[in-house]
Chain A
Amino acid sequence: MVYGPPYNQPALKLVIVGCGRVGSQIAADMDRSGHEVVIVDRDPNAFSRASTRGVLTREFKGDQVVGNGTDADVLRRAGIEHADGFVAVTEGDNRNIMASQIAKHVFKVPHVVARIYDPERAEAYEKLGLHTICPTIEGALHIQKVLLERESK
């Protein structure tokens, strides 16, 4: 991955809910690329775990907010009212769906992405206009593709 200041793109204000492996990775990458990142997790230890893993290092310039990402007041504290983008990547599908809908429909954040593990729920909410990422389906397809490519070599 190429890091560096965004020459052709203004810095985005991003709110990320869920400081697990994916959330902390996105936060670190986007921060390094010059964007303004706020990462939210209800577990205060989530941030130190990400730093132990070497993901959220001392160089991370973004903010960390402890609180429930489905709570509008917590989201306000994270600066959602001025956010350009919002990502929900907690371990709970329903929490991600609810947080994303609050971001999209209550705070009118322009770019909202929700991770939903359950393919059926992901499809249902994609149909309702939510931008969803389903790692179950996408991961499975990717692995199958790699397997088949090896097979044909």
Chain B
Amino acid sequence: MYVIVVGGGTVGYYMSRDLVERGHEVTLIERDAKRADWLETQLGSIVMRGDGCEVRFLAQTGIERADAIVAVTADDEDNLIALQMAKKHFRVKKTVARVNNPSNVEIFKTLGVDEAVSATDVLLAALEPPITT
């Protein structure tokens, strides 16, 4: 699989590393130059510095042949825009988002994102059975 990962924070870094270890082709997009440099020391040439919400930049990542794109920045709005561009402009088959606000899981689906995962929801579910007062 060719997977594009948008956002090289902690989640994006471990995700990319894991995908590479499993034998997938990965491009990791990071906007911040310093962070991108550091990521490159760890992951090599799969790291590209740029804005994953910009069509022109995405076009340089070979996105037309991507099987999936995963947006895992800390900002829900940036994840949404990157995935909408990937879907509507480049027709990427699978779009997956990390969302921080749990109510964005449903909203992202309404707005065309295939899968939205809320870490907050996952953690809340881990507290099951629900805490009662």
Contact = CB atoms under 8 A, between A and B. Distances in A.
Interface of A: 70-73, 92-95, 97-98, 101-102, 105-106, 118, 120-121, 124, 128
A121 B103 contact: no
Interface in B46-65: 53-56
Contact of B78 (A94, A105, A124, A128): A94
Interface of B: 53-56, 75-78, 80-81, 84-85, 88-89, 101, 103-104, 107, 110-111
A70 B56 contact: no
**Main DSSP-derived SS at the A contact region:** helix
Across the A-B interface, the 8 shortest Cβ-Cβ residue pairs? A98-B77, A94-B77, A94-B81, A95-B77, A72-B103, A98-B80, A94-B78, A70-B77
Given A71-B103, A98-B76, A102-B111, 16 more contacts: A70-B76, A70-B77, A72-B103, A73-B103, A92-B77, A94-B78, A97-B80, A97-B81, A98-B77, A98-B81, A101-B80, A105-B111, A118-B54, A120-B55, A121-B54, A128-B88
